[in-house]
Structure 1
């Protein structure tokens, strides 16, 4: 019996050691999983998809959507952002550029990487009937900036949870007045990117499937400007046009001539656009007015082409009006609506984006983006800091028709929110990590506007 007891005791010891080894293995595996969530983009996406996290982002987005505010009027939106940052324990500066907020997560020391979201709405009456429709007549988040803010706050939550692992500082830029007001320019003038080494921005894209992103190296969005012209003539009765100088006829000829600038003067391989989108004049069927106002936009992918268009627009309007005996004045509105430069993605950051997005979404879901003639005031950042701008897909095949941004029927597939939040957070954290292998960045010299 004594010998048997020793044998049984030895078996028990071996069994206990096996249990301990299994426990140790589980501990190591758990640490490995935790580490992968910390360092792997897929782990961030898993976190952002958790129901409580997701519901919070949706709530933020819907609260902003219900109370849209135009450029430099985003006081309630800014307050909401600050309240959420307070709840997360994130320090910030406010106000910057009237309503802007800039948060900081990490060591407070270099290197610095910035993440940007715009927060202004559009002067548009929402035509979508749903529970969280805009409560402000004539104003709507029809370009997805409400989603941008929610996703950047989501990125802030992820980064704050892992702030001890940040090897530098993430700068969170909540920017006002992207829609023509040049809010990015004002924030740059306020010094928010003075010490920043790189900056990332994004935009929702309803034409791209959810779970997919698109971007490219180099120019991705055009430079743009606005123009307005007043063409003056001599009004009178429509029955006796010979006693008048008809500004409507003159303006009509001006508009036709402006279309020739691209079709007959521009290199077909050099993308340019001139669009007249405003024509105002007259108020009665039988009265020729004294003057007519027209206005529009012009766009190009290089400085030379942009300023050539600007010069020719003025020349054509004045000269063509003169042919019809009218006098024209032209205003490029650059004081209230600064010319937007071309949005240029850093070649160095392109590889970083592809690597991080590929780890998160799979290489097949990271697509090349063709340049588009739309413009973005993120372009001001790309002139002073190595910058990267990408598009987050929101298309859901099971839903109805897809409407583009700036449409009163524009909607957001909220299932895409975790992708923007997780990717923004992962781009910043991996950029600051020791594993970041991108060579030292400098602002790339280019001739884009």
Structure 2
């Protein structure tokens, strides 16, 4: 049992840091909403949107980020993972808390006609990463304005190649997370209301992998199929059998997905081809079931092809994209998120997020950093037409979301460092007394 003197000290510390949380949260949002500040973020987002770059090709984007950090007199290191940038705000001493934004675009032709449409044919920011960069730079600006109040160091991670190439894994390998004890990431969400945020503790996004198989038979004329060995028939049986892995081999209380998204082969309607290829994705919410599913995918493809007298090879494409782990949110940071977001946005504007089979390479950070947290920012409001989901050539960002992301990201880091100054033993005593 703590003494009355220590309990009084704990109470005073709790009051002080609670007041800091309330004041900074509201002050940061007010700052990000100022016209000059907002227009600056919008301008950054639009410049990036006009010049989209794919994974590990974000050279102009990286240069823009570095110029903005230079203008704010924020020191940084470059390059990480080819184009990545890591900035530092604060004392330069522990504790270190990180904020992350992804920088890459998608190989899509933008179909939205507007003044700042992509200037690069076949490439566009169709997932909001341009907004993520602008918001992290906004958070950096707020934090730099309060750098003398920071009780530690905020690490700003501008990461390449989230879309399928595992840029987070490369950033980690290159030392971007050195000394980092906590990290926050976010993503805009089209279907959620502007001014709301969603997340949950524990597993949030699934582990993800890809596979490609080539099924080889013997080509021939469609009029005499008995003289050929049909790889199309074999591939069709493979696809049907793969669905049974989820419907008949998986515990109904567990979540798994196997989807074949590509089937290619054949050059004429009356010719049986020599070979065909199929490719797809598989996902799960546990490491054990993920690798069990991987094993069974390979076994089923090879065995089902053999039933039809065909041969099959399976490639899990890990050289192009590593397997993504499950994205798991810290229980500790979830409580922190509820407190900070609640004070800034109102507790009614924090919504529960159901686990989804989507994947994010933020999962690599959550594997190696002691505590990690990922959340979503709503963008939809009545003044803006219904927004399309990400990875659509009609995707748009409601730029009114920018102040929310900048302020919340800044506040989460600021409050984390403030809270970290309460000695761990005292925090445990507070917890015990409650």
Q: TM-score, normalised by structure 1?
A: 0.88
Counterpart Cα distance in 2 of 1:250 and 1:188:
42
Report the counterpart of residue 397 of structure 2 in structure 1.
Answer: 412
Report the counterpart of residue 399 of structure 1 in structure 2.
Answer: 384
Give the C-alpha shift of residue 197 in structure 1.
1.3
Which of 268, 278, 282 is matched with 2:262 structurally?
278
Report the counterpart of residue 10 of structure 2 in structure 1.
Answer: none
User: Residue 347 and residue 438 in structure 1: after superposition, are their counterparts in 2 closer, same or farther (change >3 A)?
Assistant: farther
Give the C-alpha shift of residue 439 in structure 1.
5.0
Counterpart Cα distance in 1 of 2:264 and 2:235:
10
Further displaced range: 399-408 or 424-433: 399-408
Which of 295, 312, 321 is matched with 2:296 structurally?
312
Counterpart Cα distance in 2 of 1:36 and 1:437:
13
Structure 1: 4+ residue segments shifted above 3 A: 35-39, 434-440
Is structure 2 residue 194 aligned with structure 1 residue 210? yes
Is structure 2 residue 304 aligned with structure 1 residue 330? no
Which of 367, 375, 379 is matched with 1:390 structurally?
375
Counterpart Cα distance in 2 of 1:223 and 1:62:
32
Which of 362, 372, 394 is matched with 1:378 structurally?
362
CA RMSD of superposed structures (Å):
1.5
Which of 99, 104, 127 is matched with 1:115 structurally?
99
Report the counterpart of residue 250 of structure 1 in structure 2.
Answer: 234
Report the counterpart of residue 82 of structure 1 in structure 2.
Answer: 66
Give the C-alpha shift of residue 40 in structure 1.
2.3
Cα offsets for 1:117-138 (capped at 9, x unmatched): 0001111111111111111111
Give the C-alpha shift of residue 36 in structure 1.
7.1
Counterpart Cα distance in 2 of 1:396 and 1:132:
21
Report the counterpart of residue 52 of structure 1 in structure 2.
Answer: 36
Q: Is the 8 A contact 2:21 2:340 kept in 1?
A: no
Q: Is the 8 A contact 2:22 2:344 kept in 1?
A: no
Is structure 2 residue 333 aligned with structure 1 residue 349? yes
Give the C-alpha shift of residue 409 in structure 1.
1.0
Is structure 2 residue 161 aligned with structure 1 residue 177? yes
User: Residue 136 and residue 117 in structure 1: after superposition, are their counterparts in 2 closer, same or farther (change >3 A)?
Assistant: same
After TM superposition, list the pairs within 5 Å mapping 1:132-147 onto structure 2. 132-147=116-131
5+ residue gaps, structure 1, are 1-34, 441-449
Q: Is the 8 A contact 2:208 2:323 kept in 1?
A: yes
Q: TM-score, normalised by structure 2?
A: 0.91
5+ residue gaps, structure 2, are 1-18, 426-434
Cα offsets for 1:367-418 (capped at 9, x unmatched): 1111110001100111111100000111123333331111111111110011
Is structure 2 residue 426 aligned with structure 1 residue 433? no
Q: For this pair of structures, how many residues does the alignment match?
A: 406
Q: Is the 8 A contact 1:221 1:374 kept in 2?
A: yes
Q: Is the 8 A contact 1:352 1:438 kept in 2?
A: no
Cα offsets for 1:224-244 (capped at 9, x unmatched): 000000000111222222211
Q: Is the 8 A contact 2:284 2:357 kept in 1?
A: yes
Is structure 2 residue 391 aligned with structure 1 residue 421? no
Is structure 2 residue 73 aligned with structure 1 residue 94? no
Is structure 2 residue 279 aligned with structure 1 residue 295? yes
User: Residue 37 and residue 60 in structure 1: after superposition, are their counterparts in 2 closer, same or farther (change >3 A)?
Assistant: farther
Report the counterpart of residue 153 of structure 1 in structure 2.
Answer: 137
Larger Rg: 1
1:130 aligned counterpart, secondary structure: coil
Report the counterpart of residue 27 of structure 1 in structure 2.
Answer: none
Report the counterpart of residue 90 of structure 2 in structure 1.
Answer: 106
1:252 aligned counterpart, secondary structure: helix
Report the counterpart of residue 212 of structure 2 in structure 1.
Answer: 228
